[in-house]
Amino acid sequence: MSESGQYGTPEHFVLHISDTHFVADGALLHGKVDSDSKLARVFERLERSGQRPEAIVFTGDLADAGDPRAYERLRAIVEPAAARLGAQVIWVMGNHDERSAFRRDLLGGEPTQESVDAVFDVNGLRIVVLDSTVPGHHHGEITDEQLAWLRDVLATPAPHGTLLALHHPPVPSPVELLEIVDLKEQHRLESVLAGTDVRSILAGHLHYSTSCTFAGIPVSVASATCYTMDLFSEAEGIRGQDGSQAVNLVHVYRDRVLHSVVPIDESPTLYEMSMEKLRYFQSLSPEEQLAVMADSSNR
């Protein structure tokens, strides 16, 4: 890719989506949310924008109750869109997913209860999928066997480094009640990741966008496409809301990884400006810029 500005051009572009929570045919999530149309809107906007990710990573809770028909509808929306975009699709297990149906209906494999761990090569960028789910429970754990497998994978660095994708984020939360469903014994994962080529950790589960560091590695949590958590709700409770749904854009540069939160609903336009007009705008004085902005807003 050609160089552009002081940062250069990103080497990789990944779309990070989480917590779609598809339900049975014809049903609404919690009786109010059309999970299918929310996700479809993401791809409609993405395709219209002209942006083309190399991979689309879904970090879990794809179906609300592991319903096979939910996975079928999810594939029916995602796979044609991914084909048009030329993007690889990477599925990650969540605590609401069911391993056997997940393996059969999303991965086309045997419907076993084995953890869903995998490695993907995206043009030199390695994406490692780690199944943090505990069947029948909502908290997360990573077994000794998984940690040994991960240590072996990371022993050899990838050409452009590694992104680790899992459902349960190794981060604290301002919502105290979420502590009961977090990733347990995080220090064990931390010891495996320290000093490796993992450049960022992608996660979901929380239903709001947030970021932190873990083992010196940036952690980026994507919000949900179905519904989100109100972080200004009463301190002793939680409040789910039909609003603020978002996805993340992940741009991997040679020396850094950029995570950008994009709401799935469009907001009213204040002004629009092409690259040609932007260059012209930058050549103007501050007073002239204000006049141009006012004229654009009044149209």
Write b or e for each residue in 56-70: b if 16 or more Cβ atoms lie within 10 A of its Cβ, otherwise e: bbbbbbbbbebbbbb
Residue 1: the pLDDT is: 39
Q: Which amino acid is at 250?
A: V
Beta bridge partners, 33, equal 29
Quick one: angle between helices 35-49 and 68-85, nearest 10? 0
Residue 274: the pLDDT is: 76
Residue 289: the pLDDT is: 77
Judge contact between 228 and 243, C-beta under 8 A. Answer: yes
Q: Which amino acid is at 239?
A: R
Residue 299: the pLDDT is: 59
Residue 152: the pLDDT is: 98
Residue 52: the pLDDT is: 98
Residue 2: the pLDDT is: 43
**Residue 26 has which token pair?**
């014809």
> pTM of the predicted model, to two decimals?
0.92
Per-residue pLDDT of the chain (299 residues; tens, 9 = 90+): 345 689 999 999 999 999 999 998 878 999 999 999 999 999 999 999 999 999 999 999 999 999 999 999 999 999 999 999 999 999 999 999 999 999 999 999 999 999 999 999 999 999 999 999 999 999 999 999 999 999 999 999 999 999 999 999 999 999 988 999 999 999 999 999 999 999 999 999 999 999 999 999 999 999 999 999 999 987 678 999 999 999 999 999 999 999 999 999 999 988 777 778 778 878 888 888 778 777 766 65
Judge contact between 63 and 70, C-beta under 8 A. Answer: yes
Distance CA 232, CA 297 (A): 32
Contacts of 198 (CB under 8 A, 6+ apart): 128, 154, 161, 162, 163, 164, 215, 217
On the CB side of 160, CA atoms within 13 Å amount to 19
Residue 86 C-alpha from the chain's centroid: 18
